[in-house]
Structure 1
């Protein structure tokens, strides 16, 4: 029975990384509800203003982008074609107006030109990133002067025992570990960028607001 549960959990973990098919549709719906509070925390932390251009990296079903109608332009990228389709449906009006863009792609090779965005969001995606400094460098490339990157991951302590998010499919981050990787990325005062946030009574998250390019 334990082996069967482990195989099922591994399958769900892989779907969390790349939703596809019927299982991906179910996982995507579950992610929509599970990510609601982290999404709200990131939106609050980055304080998007009218006239700004934003990018959601790993946009999932587009919930975060839909929560920022005040932005001048909204872009999303996800490597799951299923999630890209969901985001496009959610942002259909903005897409028709030319005020949004959704693309399939890789977080390490963002399909956008240099100096394009004021606020970048990376919610629950660093679990699948093998090189955080390289990811931050790619974010810098597409950032405008004064841009910020918002990061959220669930803390390793809370993820312990989650079969669907084991080390087989997910990286786990402590606060100190995330700070160290941001320091490697050249983020000055990285320890001041990262803070713990209480998502539920049993789940603690790590939230970081990272300056990407000086004005």
Structure 2
């Protein structure tokens, strides 16, 4: 089941980032990704699971030339309305990408692998289309976090498969040497925890990662 194919989900997706909590979480997630992409020279980037274009706008602002893809036409309809520069939008599944081998300088996938239905196959397709020496930029939701442990109660997240940091590291290691940073620490009451001493005892919800494909 593709929960994001539903029009009401697609139309409401961006509204979350307009809430007070959504804005704070968005800033933290983007800071994590921004820190990790500093060594990466922007090139031709494939974005997988672009949804409404929320992260597409981020990568566009950072100078990447983007082919943004998703399987949900409802989500892509919202993305097209944003008319983002340096961006082509098309329908495509990560499980069967319509691109040649070794085609992209970078591949980005942010909170989309969780919902693809076959994570090993998705990683195999990403590896196929990514150039040797190219970079995979990933953002994933942590199974060990309070969100991961309570996802069965969420109407959207219950449809996803979350990885923990160990699993993500192992899968990314098939490309090269990954770097993973975690953030967005939520208490059991789903409130952001800002104090560093408390953060250490709470697994971060968001795992940001980069890995360079071995030449």
Structure 2 CA distance, aligned partners of 1:153 and 1:63?
15
Partner of 2:57: 66
Structure 2 CA distance, aligned partners of 1:141 and 1:60?
22
CA positional deviation for 1:212:
2.3
Structure 2 CA distance, aligned partners of 1:84 and 1:107?
15
Q: Verify the 8 A CA contact 1:62 1:90 in the aligned structure 2.
A: yes
Structure 2 CA distance, aligned partners of 1:42 and 1:62?
16
1:115 paired with 2:107, answer: no
CA positional deviation for 1:165:
6.1
Partner of 1:207: 208
Which of the pair is proportionally richer in helix? 1
Which aligned runs of 4 or more in structure 1 are off by greater than 6 angstroms? none
Partner of 1:4: none
TM-score (norm 1): 0.73
1:57 paired with 2:57, answer: no
Secondary structure, aligned partner of 1:206: strand
Secondary structure, aligned partner of 2:159: coil
Residue ranges of structure 1 left out of the alignment (5+ in a row):
1-13
1:91 paired with 2:83, answer: yes
Structure 1 CA distance, aligned partners of 2:184 and 2:89?
31
Alignment counterpart, residue 170 of structure 1, candidates 149, 160, 169: 160
1:46 paired with 2:37, answer: yes
Secondary structure, aligned partner of 2:154: helix
Partner of 1:77: 69
Structure 2 CA distance, aligned partners of 1:39 and 1:75?
20
Q: Verify the 8 A CA contact 1:152 1:207 in the aligned structure 2.
A: yes
Alignment counterpart, residue 145 of structure 1, candidates 132, 152, 161: 132
1:100 paired with 2:87, answer: yes
Q: Verify the 8 A CA contact 2:47 2:68 in the aligned structure 1.
A: yes
Query: Which range moved further: 29-38 or 83-92?
Result: 29-38
CA positional deviation for 1:174:
1.5
Partner of 1:161: 150
Partner of 1:182: 172
Q: Verify the 8 A CA contact 1:49 1:70 in the aligned structure 2.
A: no
Structure 2 CA distance, aligned partners of 1:104 and 1:32?
26
Aligned-CA RMSD value: 2.9
Secondary structure, aligned partner of 1:18: helix
CA positional deviation for 1:57:
0.7
Structure 2 CA distance, aligned partners of 1:168 and 1:27?
16
Instruction: Label 1:177 to 1:70 Cα distance change in 2 as closer, same or farther (>3 A).
Output: closer
Structure 1 CA distance, aligned partners of 2:129 and 2:41?
18
Secondary structure, aligned partner of 1:55: strand
Structure 1 CA distance, aligned partners of 2:206 and 2:125?
24
